[in-house]
């Protein structure tokens, strides 16, 4: 009830973009009626748009939360078809800047000082505007130029409301729609919600930047802006102002004499170092987030979306890529199983067939012509089709590589991503079989088993105590037991109904015979009892027949 108006806006946006069927399937049409103009126009111009265009239009209609959800979904090629993913990749935060009065008020409230005491100079016009915040150029009293990101007023409350609604809609969808169950929509929304809430916390973004700064502290070719923590809070982020040229501005890059192939090589090496060596990686390296600085360095920007790969994930990913390059079906399947959660109902034969079909696509294709991002994305799609749950950070790898390949294509079309990845993959395989690493893993396992053995006496004491008190818990799992008991309950209800109908019929028969023998009136308190009873009996009988026929078990 608290969010009724927002529910109506969402339902209206669904219908306006041709998704009125979803409103009905999740039951929102039972809560309120949509405006007549929306219902009448739902078959209008939207009918000429593709599915991806309608989804993008729907998300843009509903503002920051839904735009962010769409942008994050575009990083999940295991869930989203390619044509829709391309549309989601075009989502833009086309919003107006909020007034400088609000900027000043938020900065002063967050940093607990007047703006004039914090900054020697603060530009009123923003450098960039997005749905969650906007960036202003400023100068500290120490003479350093900084970029100050300020969160949009009331956006946090709006996003939390929308996330609550999305979680409720996902719950309804999973209860009513099989595709929603198959794709585990609730878990996906929960994952996206967590990422959006982290993006609302600018201190998290600052920590991500500091982490990347430590990664490249010994690499002069990569620059990460410094974070000024004395001027940073959850809603205000102050970082070093970096001047450079965006990588999509090839004309300016060439005019400045920037070596484009060298920039491409540095970008790939930097990202592969993060992916295959360190494990923490910038998950959105598009052209707007990377600058060429002074023809010597690359500067990364915007650290809201980061991924993390554990050592095991890195190793499994390397095994997957090596197996793909060598066209080894069995090893690919082993790697997929290591990466994801395997469902009980996995059909091994169908998985084998799909992996072999995937490998046929790349049979005889030179390595330099293979898109690493596309191939990993295709593999994760196969896993999703077989309900193998891939960790979110790993699915981000495919989209990150696709984004990287798009940037590299513009800088140096002849650059081979696969060739650049080979030494990193080789090092990962070598590291996996490093005797020190194996010894450490064995030691960790022995230590873990030692803890288990140490706890065994206490476990046995508890079991013995429970057994003496005859309170030993026993759980029996019967497949499809819920369905069986539901059917049993249905049968017993119908049997009870039939018995009641039979008893009622016997009573009515007795009344008829008794009145006939005694020649008594059938009026009871001025009501024709036999006639009324006959009508009730016929209605009960008709309902019983209808229920049996409807069940398909006649």
**Residue positions annotated with a catalytic role:** 284
What DSSP letter does each residue of 416-430 carry, written as one string?
A: -HHHHHHHHHHHHHH
Q: Decide: 243 and 293 in contact? Cβ < 8 Å.
A: yes
**Distance of CA 525 to CAs 237, 515, 522, 537, Å?**
84, 15, 10, 20
Residue appearing with tokens 């009830």 = 1
Q: Which tokens sit at 443?
A: 């030691």
Angle between helices 372-385 and 329-339 (to 10 degrees): 70
In DSSP notation, 445-486 reads HHHHHHHHHHHHHHHHHHHHHHHHTT--------TTHHHHHH
Q: Is 246 exposed, middle or buried (0-12, 13-18, 19+ CB in 10 A)?
A: middle
393: nearest Cα among 274, 289, 281: 281
Contacts of 424 (CB under 8 A, 6+ apart): 272, 273, 275, 276, 277, 318
- In this structure, are residues 399 and 74 in contact, taking their beta carbons and an 8 Å threshold? yes
Q: Which two tokens stand for residue 96?
A: 């107006």
Identify which of 1, 34, 3, 4 has the alpha carbon closest to the alpha carbon of residue 19. 34
DSSP structural state of residue 341:
B
Q: Exposed, middle or buried by CB within 10 Å (0-12, 13-18, 19+), for 275?
A: buried
Contact criterion met (CB below 8 Å) for 336 and 379: yes
Q: Any idea what DSSP says for residue 365? A: -
Neighbours of 188 (CB within 10 A): 19
Q: For residues 237 and 202, is the Cβ–Cβ distance under 8 A?
A: yes
Q: Which residues pair with 134 in a beta bridge?
A: 129, 150
Is residue 315 a contact partner of residue 428, using CB atoms and an 8 Å limit?
yes
Q: By the 8 A CB rule, do 224 and 212 touch? A: yes
In 3-state terms, the chain is what percent helix, strand and coil (to 5)? Answer: 65, 10, 30
With a CB cutoff of 8 Å and minimum separation 6, the contacts of 367 are 325, 416, 418, 419
Strands 128-129 and 236-240: unpaired
């Amino acid at each position: 009830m608290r969010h009724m108006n927002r529910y109506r806006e969402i339902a209206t946006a669904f219908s306006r973009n041709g998704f009125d069927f979803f409103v009905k399937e999740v039951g929102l049409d039972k809560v309120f009626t949509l405006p007549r103009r929306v219902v009448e126009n739902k078959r209008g111009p939207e009918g000429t748009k593709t599915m991806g265009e309608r989804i993008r239009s729907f998300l843009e209609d509903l503002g920051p939360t839904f735009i962010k959800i769409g942008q994050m979904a575009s990083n999940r090629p295991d869930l989203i078809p390619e044509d829709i993913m391309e549309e989601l990749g075009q989502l833009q935060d086309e919003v107006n800047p909020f007034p400088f009065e609000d900027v000043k008020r938020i900065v002063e409230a967050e940093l607990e000082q007047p703006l004039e005491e914090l900054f020697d100079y603060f530009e009123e016009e923003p450098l960039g505007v997005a749905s969650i915040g906007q960036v202003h150029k400023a100068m500290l009293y120490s003479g350093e130029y900084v970029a100050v990101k300020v969160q949009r007023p009331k956006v946090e409350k709006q996003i939390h409301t929308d996330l609550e609604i999305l979680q409720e809609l996902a719950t309804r969808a999973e209860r009513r729609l099989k595709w929603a169950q198959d794709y585990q929509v609730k878990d996906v929304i929960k994952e996206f919600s967590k990422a959006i809430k982290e993006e609302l916390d600018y201190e998290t973004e600052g920590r991500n930047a500091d982490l990347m700064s430590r990664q490249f502290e010994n690499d002069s070719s990569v620059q990460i802006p410094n974070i000024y923590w004395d001027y940073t809070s959850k809603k205000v982020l102050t970082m070093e102002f970096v001047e450079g040229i965006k990588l999509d501005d090839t004309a300016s890059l060439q005019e400045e004499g920037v070596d484009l192939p060298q920039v491409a090589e540095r970008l790939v090496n930097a990202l592969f170092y993060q992916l295959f060596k360190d494990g923490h990686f910038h998950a959105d390296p598009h052209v707007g987030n990377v600058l060429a600085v002074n023809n010597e360095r690359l500067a990364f920007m915007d650290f809201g979306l980061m991924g993390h790969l554990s050592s095991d994930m890195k190793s499994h990913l390397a095994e997957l890529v090596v197996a793909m390059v060598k066209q080894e079906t069995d090893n690919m399947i082993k790697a997929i199983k290591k990466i994801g959660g395997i469902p009980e109902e996995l059909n091994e034969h169908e998985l084998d067939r799909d992996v072999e079909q995937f490998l046929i696509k790349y049979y005889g294709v030179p390595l330099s012509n293979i898109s690493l991002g596309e191939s990993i994305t295709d593999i994760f799609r196969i896993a999703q089709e077989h309900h193998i749950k891939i960790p979110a950070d790993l699915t981000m790898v495919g989209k990150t590589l696709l984004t990287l390949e798009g940037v590299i294509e513009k800088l140096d079309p002849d650059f081979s991503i696969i060739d650049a990845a080979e030494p990193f993959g080789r090092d990962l395989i070598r590291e996996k079989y490093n005797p020190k690493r194996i010894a450490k893993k064995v030691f960790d396992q022995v230590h873990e088993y030692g803890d288990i053995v140490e706890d065994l006496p206490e476990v046995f004491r508890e079991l013995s105590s429970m057994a003496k008190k005859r309170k030993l818990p026993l759980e029996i799992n019967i497949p499809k037991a819920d369905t069986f008991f539901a059917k049993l309950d249905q049968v017993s209800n119908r049997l009870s109904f039939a018995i009641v109908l039979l008893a009622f019929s016997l009573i009515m028969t007795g009344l008829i015979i008794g009145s006939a023998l005694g020649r008594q009136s059938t009026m009871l308190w001025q009501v024709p009892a036999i006639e009324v009873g006959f009508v009730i009996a016929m209605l009960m009988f008709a309902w019983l027949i209808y229920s049996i026929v409807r069940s398909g078990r006649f």
